[in-house]
């Protein structure tokens, strides 16, 4: 009797073990690469925020210098967004509903016991909202100097907000206006 050899010598494809090993390797790569990718996006977004804030700060200082040269007094503009075109700037208001990732807006804010300023906010792609204070009123007792506190205060700080726009606290040193602590007070 003749033995039948049903072994297929022209087999195409992978074995189950090979597929499992490849899946495990891809899973390991994904767990290592994904957090690095997300961290890179967050770092890029923070760098872009710093660039926008730096451009606004510079424009405000240029405005004050021009005012001094023309009128003999330093003065800040009421709204720094009138000086610099910022992609994603949606205007002034306090409602964060309906804002998209990447949007910038300014919220009127009363500092301490009365001075009026702005809280400049930016919504990041992870729905967190960061803010910087801006006070255009007179902050010094120096003659011919009616400048306030430029964007981010005299110190660098961020106010962190949840997705509903509620403050989650400040990151950085305290800020004072006329000797009254207004942010990050201990």
Q: What is the pLDDT of residues 59-94, one digit of tens each?
A: 988 998 898 899 888 888 888 999 999 988 888 876
- Evaluate whether residue 105 is within a structural domain: yes
- Evaluate whether residue 1 is within a structural domain: no
- Evaluate whether residue 145 is within a structural domain: yes
The residues that bridge with 135 in the sheet, in sequence order, are: 149
What 8-state DSSP symbol labels residue 129? E
Supply φ then ψ for residue 33, to 5 degrees.
-80, -35
- Evaluate whether residue 78 is within a structural domain: yes
Which residue range is the domain that position 126 belongs to? 17-183
- Evaluate whether residue 138 is within a structural domain: yes
- Evaluate whether residue 12 is within a structural domain: no
- Evaluate whether residue 4 is within a structural domain: no
pTM of the model as a whole: 0.65
Q: What b-and-e string marks burial along 135-156, b requiring 16 or more CB atoms within 10 Å of the CB?
A: bbbbbeeeeeebbbbbbbbeee
Of 161, 174, 166, 172, the C-alpha closest to 111 is: 174
Q: Is 174 exposed, middle or buried (CB count within 10 Å of its CB: 0-12, 13-18, 19+)?
A: middle
- Alpha-carbon span 139 to 158, nearest angstrom: 20
What is the total count of domains within the chain? 1
- Alpha-carbon span 132 to 79, nearest angstrom: 13
pLDDT (average), residues 115-137: 79
- Alpha-carbon span 72 to 70, nearest angstrom: 6
Token pair of 151 as six digits: 């964007």
Coil vs helix vs strand at 183: strand
- Evaluate whether residue 60 is within a structural domain: yes
**Highest averaged pLDDT of the listed ranges 8-17, 98-107, 163-172:** 98-107
Residue 161: pLDDT band by 50, 70, 90 thresholds? low
Question: 138 vs 32, which has greater pLDDT?
Answer: 32
């Amino acid at each position: 009797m003749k033995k039948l050899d049903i072994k297929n010598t022209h087999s195409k494809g992978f074995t189950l073990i090979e597929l499992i090993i490849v899946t495990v390797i891809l899973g390991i790569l994904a767990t290592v690469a994904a957090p690095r990718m997300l961290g890179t996006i967050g770092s890029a977004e923070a760098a872009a925020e710093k660039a926008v804030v730096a451009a606004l700060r510079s424009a405000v200082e240029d405005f004050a210098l021009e005012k001094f040269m023309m009128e003999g007094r330093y003065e800040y503009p009421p709204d720094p967004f009138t000086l610099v075109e910022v992609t994603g700037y949606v205007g002034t208001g306090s409602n964060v509903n309906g804002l998209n990732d990447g949007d910038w807006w300014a919220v009127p804010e009363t500092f301490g016991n009365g001075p009026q300023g702005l809280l400049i906010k930016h919504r990041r792609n992870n729905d967190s909202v960061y803010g910087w204070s801006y006070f255009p009123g007179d902050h010094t007792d120096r003659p011919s100097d009616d400048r306030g506190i430029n964007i981010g205060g005299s110190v660098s700080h961020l106010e962190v907000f949840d997705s509903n726009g509620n403050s989650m606290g400040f990151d950085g040193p305290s800020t004072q206006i006329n000797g009254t602590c207004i942010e990050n007070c201990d």
